[in-house]
Each structure stands twice: as structure tokens, then as C-alpha cells.
């Protein structure tokens, strides 16, 4: 099982040197993957008729993962990248295909495109995209991405897309792996049908149960590539070494491909949690401590 690290939310807001140094430190310490969270805009939670239940607000710093990874591709050599998760239905499919292809080319095949539905309906509205049809939209988008990466010219008419004898150029030299994520039965059902991997937002017992269900669905799917399907979970640094070890061993037995450290704080902070990393030095120190504890 390989080690991964979440690019820390709320860190290095306008500091490109710190962004570079953090990524290079993760690579040199032996991490194999950087996960980049996605939010185009943050939203005020208070005073809404329909509550926002997600953990982030307008005060949280998010670096856009595709452009972030384009930069990191140029300052690293071996570490790969997973968007975790691009909220695909609120983005233009052809543009995402083009951007992902570009990153995969300049990184020499190090991109994994994680896609999901998200929880922030305000973000959908801000981007001019309907919230209610997001599930049906992503089901059309995923196979369309793969066609755009592999076919010179596409003539496609769907419910949400019309591509009239057009294509992207240059195309990647491979099919970029598409990962899914989420917390629900529909999310794992979709992944079992069309994805190359699944990112779980935690390493908790609830995520283990969902991963077990996903493995069942994969076994029933008849897919020939089940052995290559990736499973990746995230553990918070604030939980401490004892919990890290317990959850690491559990996911290792489950056959997970990656175990991921999240160093940034929860929003809002959980009671009795360890002090979150703040400076670049603190974030790098936690990366080092984590990997030494579990190797």
C-alpha cells in the first residue's frame, strides 16, 4: 500500500515557493501521490433556506487542483496526482478533457482524474449549472471524457452535450484513470460500473463498510480489470499515531492501494483533536512523522 498526502487546505494561499517546497518534500519523503481538493467558490452557510452541510465555507483557501497540478508537474519528477474530487457536473466536460490531457502530457502520465457530485448547491448556481440533474450529467460525462481522450473526432449527441465532429488535440498517450468518490450507495454503484478507483473521505469503519460493498459490486460486475481497481482512504493527522496504525492495518487487509494523510484542520475543529499544522515547516514535519510511524 502506497502513501499519499492531501494538499493542505488553507495553507500557502499566495506563496508559490511554499507550494513547491511542500510538494518536493512529500516526494522526497516517499509519498507516491498528492490529492488536491476542489472548490471553485466557498459559500456562506448562515441564513440559507436549504442548509449547506459541508465542512468548508467562504473563508477556506482552495487552490484549483488542475492548475495546481500543472504547476506541480513541473517541479516534481515521480509523484502522481489525484483530483479529490473535481465536481465534474458543474464544469464543462470538453474543457476538463482538454485540461486533464494537458496535465497528463506535461507530467508524463502522472494524472488521475477524481470526479464526484459535490455537496455545495451554491457553487453549482454560481457556475450557472443546474443542481438537480448532476447525477445524470456525470453519467454522461465520464464516458465522454474517455472518448475525447482516445478519438480524433467525435460526433456526439446526448442529453447534456452536443459535439459536432470535433475533438481535442493534443490527446494524452493513454486513457487517464478516472476515480470516483462519495459517501453513498449510488456513488459506489457508479464507481463499480465506470471508474478505475475510489477515494474515501475518511478511513473510518463507515468507509470500510462502503469499501466492502464496493468490492462486492465489483465482483458482481463482470469487469475484467477488477484487480487493478484502486481503493484510497484518508486519515486526519489529528487522530494520532495509534489510530493511524489501526486504520492503516485495516485498509491494508482490505487491499487498498493508497493510504492518505490529511494535515489540515477540520472545519470546524473537532473536540480534543491535535493542534493543526499551520506553517510549511509544521506541515512537512507531520508528513515525515506519519510515514516514519507506518513504514
Instruction: Quickly list DSSP for 143-193.
Output: HHHHHHHH-SSEEEE-SS-EEEEE--SSPPSS---EEEE-SSHHHHHHHHH
Q: Is 219 helix (H, G, I), strand (E, B) or coil?
A: helix
d(CA 207, CA 182): 10
| Domain hosting residue 117, numbered range | 2-294
- pLDDT in single tens digits along all 295 residues of the chain: 999 999 999 999 999 999 999 999 999 999 999 999 999 999 999 999 999 989 899 999 999 999 999 999 999 999 999 999 999 999 999 999 999 999 999 999 999 999 999 999 999 999 999 999 999 999 999 999 999 999 999 999 999 999 999 999 999 999 999 999 999 999 999 999 999 999 999 999 999 999 999 999 999 999 989 999 999 999 999 999 999 999 999 999 999 999 999 998 765 555 556 677 889 999 999 999 999 999 8
- Domain with residue 77: its CATH number is 3.20.20.30
| DSSP 8-state code for residue 91 | S
pLDDT of residue 59: 93
Q: How many CB atoms lie within 10 A of CB 187?
A: 20
Q: Is 210 helix (H, G, I), strand (E, B) or coil?
A: helix
Domain count, the chain: 1
- Could you give phi then psi for residue 137, rounded to 5 degrees? -65, -45
- Residue whose cell numbers read 486533464: 100
pLDDT of residue 264: 86
Does the global pTM surpass 0.85? yes
d(CA 38, CA 148): 22
Amino acid at each position: 500500500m502506497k502513501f499519499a498526502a492531501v494538499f493542505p487546505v488553507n495553507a500557502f494561499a499566495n506563496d508559490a515557493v511554499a507550494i513547491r517546497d511542500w510538494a518536493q518534500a512529500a516526494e522526497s519523503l516517499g509519498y507516491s501521490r498528492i490529492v488536491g481538493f476542489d472548490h471553485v467558490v466557498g459559500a456562506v452557510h448562515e441564513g440559507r433556506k436549504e442548509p449547506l452541510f459541508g465542512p468548508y465555507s467562504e473563508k477556506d483557501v482552495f487552490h484549483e487542483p488542475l492548475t495546481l497540478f500543472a504547476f506541480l508537474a513541473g517541479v516534481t519528477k515521480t509523484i502522481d496526482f489525484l483530483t479529490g474530487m473535481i465536481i465534474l457536473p458543474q464544469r464543462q466536460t470538453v474543457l476538463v478533457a482538454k485540461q486533464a490531457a494537458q496535465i497528463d502530457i506535461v507530467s508524463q502520465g502522472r494524472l488521475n482524474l477524481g470526479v464526484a457530485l459535490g455537496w455545495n448547491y451554491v457553487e453549482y448556481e454560481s457556475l450557472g449549472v443546474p443542481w438537480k440533474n448532476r447525477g445524470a450529467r456525470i453519467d454522461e460525462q465520464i464516458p465522454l471524457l474517455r472518448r475525447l481522450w482516445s478519438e480524433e473526432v467525435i460526433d456526439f449527441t446526448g442529453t447534456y452535450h452536443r459535439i459536432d465532429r470535433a475533438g481535442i488535440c493534443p490527446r494524452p498517450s493513454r486513457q487517464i484513470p478516472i476515480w470516483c468518490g462519495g459517501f453513498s450507495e449510488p456513488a459506489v454503484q457508479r464507481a463499480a460500473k465506470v471508474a478505475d478507483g475510489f477515494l474515501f473521505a475518511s478511513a473510518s469503519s463507515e468507509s470500510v463498510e462502503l469499501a466492502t460493498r464496493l468490492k462486492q459490486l465489483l465482483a458482481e460486475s463482470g469487469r475484467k480489470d477488477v484487480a487493478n481497481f484502486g481503493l484510497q482512504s484518508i486519515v486526519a493527522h489529528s487522530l494520532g499515531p495509534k489510530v493511524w496504525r489501526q486504520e492503516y492495518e485495516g485498509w491494508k487487509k482490505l487491499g487498498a492501494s493508497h493510504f492518505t494523510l490529511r494535515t489540515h484542520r477540520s472545519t470546524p475543529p473537532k473536540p480534543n483533536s491535535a493542534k493543526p499544522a499551520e506553517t510549511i515547516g509544521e506541515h512537512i514535519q507531520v508528513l515525515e512523522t506519519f510515514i516514519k510511524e507506518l513504514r
